[in-house]
Copies of this chain bind each other. A is one copy, B any other.
């Protein structure tokens, strides 16, 4: 399918410097369409109020030769969605200084799914990685799309959790949508493109410059009903995303952790500033009042008994025992005290939990929880 001339014209406009939405809106009124702008004479463009820098670019050969964009647009799953398009996400359009157009590789519908951003450290603890994966998987299975930044660490775990649930996930890039960074996430990006979308506000071929990431973070926050920060050091990019979300009036969620963990300090700072302390998926769903968004996908339970996927369907007493075990190793006596169960009951239940892979025996007759393996 040949690309629409209008999409190709928008791709050209995204490359023009100094073209912001007010200037473009005015020019569109006068010249009718993106193609009207790119095909007009320089004099017409000047009369339409386009800034000099933009006009200069549009008169060059570089602007005329948009072969790369045209070739890219030939793929039916590649789209340029201008701010004037009804498919441009309304939540993003409601924020100041949103991109002139979004480049989308993958499902165009994903853009307008109700989304939760899950972001955090590029170097999380194993627990942080697990938490991102599990919450993402659980929420994606219930119809929330999961939006993140394709970085290593928490971002990747969030994307992978949603993919594991056959859910929708969006990766917003700080580079052109055809420039995958980091390279180690190329195969992940292929899966995301199949099951959701890669999204960028930058023209094709844009390298992942450091200065691009704040805008990437703003798009993540703006697309989403809320932003969850899983682990973040103080002064990290995730906190910027969270603060942007708050400035847009969106919910901010943060996972607490040990006071001795540097990667919990950013989350604790957010909680002090009003972010919702988040222990379970239910904390997020209840705050977003997500039932309003349900699309009928899979299990729609939002009751207070919801918990992480690996514990779903577990015997109630086993669940109590696992809760009592917590995240530090403990011996059977301690578990007897904590649960009030009989020693022989605790002993046999722990055996079952061990066989099921929920706990493992540690030296000294102690048990610890099994950290879920990566997928």
| Chain A positions near chain B (C-beta within 8 angstroms) | 123, 125-127, 131, 255-265, 268, 271-272, 276-280, 323-324, 326-328, 334, 337-338, 369
Contacts and interface: CB of A to CB of B under 8 A. Distances in A.
Contact of A260 (B259, B265, B272, B369): B369
Given A271-B277, A277-B268, A277-B271, A328 B125 contact: yes
11 contacts: A125-B326, A126-B328, A256-B271, A256-B277, A257-B257, A258-B327, A261-B326, A263-B326, A268-B279, A272-B276, A277-B277
Contacts of A256: 256-259, 264, 268, 271, 277
A126 B329 CA distance: 10
Within the oligomer, what is the number of copies of this chain?
Answer: 2
B127 A337 contact: no
Contacts of A259: 131, 255-257, 278-280
A272 B274 CA distance: 9
Given A123-B334, A123-B337, A279-B265, A326 B260 contact: yes
A261 B123 contact: no
A327 B261 contact: yes
A272 B327 CA distance: 22
A57 B22 CA distance: 87
A262 B126 CA distance: 19
A375 to B, nearest CB: 19
Nearest to A126: B328
Contacts of A261: 326-328
Given A277-B272, A334-B123, A326 B262 contact: yes
Contacts of A277: 256, 268, 271-272, 277
